[in-house]
Structure 1
Amino acid sequence: MFKKFLLLLTLHSLQACAQQSGYSVEKTYKIPGPGGWDYIRMHKGKLYVSHSTQVNIINAATGDSVGVIPQTTGVHGIAFDEALNRCYTSNGRLNNVTVFDLATDKVLTQVPTGNNPDAIFFEPFTQTIITCNGSSKTLSLIDPKADKVIQTIEVGGKPEEAVSDGKGHLYVNLEDKNEVAAVDLKTNKVTARWSLGAEGPTGLAYDKATNRLFSGCDGYLVVLNAESGKVVSKLPIGDGCDGVVFNEAKNLIYTSNGQSGNLSVIREKDANHYAVLGNYPTKRGARTLCFDEASQTIYLPTADFEPRVGTERPKMKTGTFQVLVVTYKVK
């Protein structure tokens, strides 16, 4: 009887510990200066944070400022070319991309693109920098060696974010069409358009092992077969998702949900089976994110807000811009 009591007590204690375990905000990095934000990216221990008219560079371990890239008005995204040791920012209000040296932070040039370049990334198959141009509904392919656009692809909708399989296939979330467009980078043509069955697709991630796409939509994460376009799964997440990343080491998908102020975590059991593990508190406004595989750390930019007035969007409190550092803790 006593042994049974001890066993029950041990199981209860383990269950209580498990309930307290999860993802939580470990610390907060304050970043001075006014203005909004969009994407955040990690590179070799540094965080590159879009911040209205500039990019703040901070030490990912300490939060200390280590640099600023100015004159990137309306900056959305950040991308890196490892071979050239360069960084690229998509400047939405300037309709161009800023190129700077990663070693010195010296601005090298600016490259004109389509209108309102938003997401930006390095594409390994073509060895180009690609921007998703929201207003012109195009993709700009930039030759990083020549610093010029060498190809413009019409996608027939507002491209919010794109991912590559590294083999010549590109997948683009079309926010205004509620679709994913498949692009053949050998012909630079859209070859398919797949309905998501959900609205407002924004963040997009890809698992090369299972050939699955993860599209963050309004209240849902939609999983697509990247070959057929078939919807594999549709899972509930928080509201206001604008970022999705895939943790390859643990087969986890993270979505940052700015309206709900939480982080949804989904497990990929196999190519066709998924489960929501939980929705973990972050902060209102934390709608984008980046993930550091080495430290298993998630970073989300946000700010503090004034109380909502009627149906208006809450205003950001001056001087409260910040980056949340989220880790998994077993308590």
Structure 2
Amino acid sequence: MLAPICSWAQPAMHADYRIVDRIPGADGGWDFASVDPAAGRLYVARSNGIMAVDLSDRKVTAALAPAHRAHAVLPMPGTREIVETDGETGLTRFIDGATGAVTAEVATGAKPDAAFLDPATGLVAVMNAGDGTIALVDPVRHALAGKIQVGGGLEFGVADGKGLGYVNIEDRNAIAVVDLKARRVLKSIALPGCEGPTGLALVANGTRLISACANKVAMIVDVAAAKVAGSFAIGSDPDAVLVDPARGLAFIPCGGTGTLEVVDIGDARHIRHAGTIQTQVGAKTGAIDPRNGRIYLPAATLAAPEAGAKRGKPVPGSFVVLVLAPVRS
């Protein structure tokens, strides 16, 4: 039985977090972000480059490296490299995080989008939204190691650390379960009541998935049972689920309503909506610094959408990274 859906507007503010800073950046679009705690840097995938922010002094490098509609930007642990997926060129690129030099380019598929590092295989899994494949890239050899044919509009994916991956399929309202070692699809988990799943996270020691859906709902999936175990209402236009395991919380940035939904993940049996933080319209992705729990949300003032467009274009001079800090660490 599904848990009852609760109103996303219940508390207008979550008392434990505040917006403490706004870091301006160059004009242009953006997608995913990540924090490299070892380097003390925030990376944001931008439409024409990789934005880097030194978190110790707020120094912004507007274009550490050029890009062509960048989507994912992942620091590689133990190295200076970051991995960027280049949506227009079909390339996954390796970039020196200190100098911005492109060290390698790998052709991975049509419209590479989200990506994650699989600890079990050591490979980077790249979701090719244009052809429904997952490209597996060896970050040591900078080479394509194989592909998994999934089909559909692939969105965000996560690894369980044991060789399995979970990927939202946006146009099928389902999660694909893939064996990254055997390089095959094992099964599909249906998401009844979810339309257009995008953001995805694995929580509660790998026992639950949280999937953010375009129809203002988040689904809680029991991994072992491979079925939806609950749901709750959220804001509109979510595109990520951010996890802070140290504080037992997850966050869903919703760009359409300008809200950050707070989720209590401390008890796998009772994952629940725990509050709403007012942020800014357009803030739909982000990253968490595991060192202090600070949340970084790229955003910009958006113009009215053109005919047929999902959202409006960023207004020149309005791009900013919102910084939210927990009141109690």
> Structure 1-normalised TM-score?
0.89
* 210-219 or 304-313, larger mean C-alpha shift: 304-313
Q: Could you tell me how far apart the structure 2 residues matched to 1:148 and 1:291 are?
A: 29
Contact 2:208 2:268 in 1 (8 A): yes
Q: Tell me if 1:98 matches 2:98.
A: no
Specify the alignment match of 1:28 in structure 2: 22
After superposition, residues 61-76 of structure 1 pair within 5 angstroms as: 61-66=56-61, 68-76=63-71
After superposition, residues 1-331 of structure 1 pair within 5 angstroms as: 21-32=15-26, 34-44=27-37, 45-66=40-61, 68-197=63-192, 198-207=194-203, 209-218=205-214, 219-306=216-303, 313-329=311-327
Which residue type is aligned with residue 20 of structure 2? E
Q: Could you tell me how far apart the structure 2 residues matched to 1:203 and 1:134 are?
A: 14
Which residue type is aligned with residue 237 of structure 2? G
Change (3 A) 1:226 1:51: same
Structure 2 stretches lacking a partner, 5+ long: 1-12
* 141-150 or 102-111, larger mean C-alpha shift: 102-111
Contact 2:200 2:210 in 1 (8 A): yes
Deviation at 1:283, TM superposition (A): 0.2
> Structure 2-normalised TM-score?
0.89
Which residue type is aligned with residue 43 of structure 1? D
Deviation at 1:325, TM superposition (A): 0.3
Deviation at 1:67, TM superposition (A): 6.5
CA RMSD of aligned residues (A): 2.0
Q: Could you tell me how far apart the structure 2 residues matched to 1:306 and 1:193 are?
A: 38
Q: Could you tell me how far apart the structure 2 residues matched to 1:145 and 1:109 are?
A: 11
* 84-93 or 63-72, larger mean C-alpha shift: 63-72
Change (3 A) 1:87 1:269: closer
Identity of paired residues, percent?
Answer: 31
Deviation at 1:83, TM superposition (A): 3.4
Change (3 A) 1:66 1:234: same
Contact 2:174 2:188 in 1 (8 A): yes
* 290-299 or 22-31, larger mean C-alpha shift: 22-31
Q: Could you tell me how far apart the structure 1 residues matched to 2:110 and 2:307 are?
A: 33
Structure 1 stretches lacking a partner, 5+ long: 1-18
> May I ask how many residue pairs the two structures share in their alignment?
312
Query: RCO greater where, 1 or 2, for CA within 8 Å and sep 6 or more?
Result: 2
Deviation at 1:55, TM superposition (A): 0.3
Change (3 A) 1:20 1:228: closer
Contact 2:250 2:263 in 1 (8 A): yes
Contact 1:80 1:121 in 2 (8 A): no
Deviation at 1:53, TM superposition (A): 1.2
Change (3 A) 1:232 1:49: same
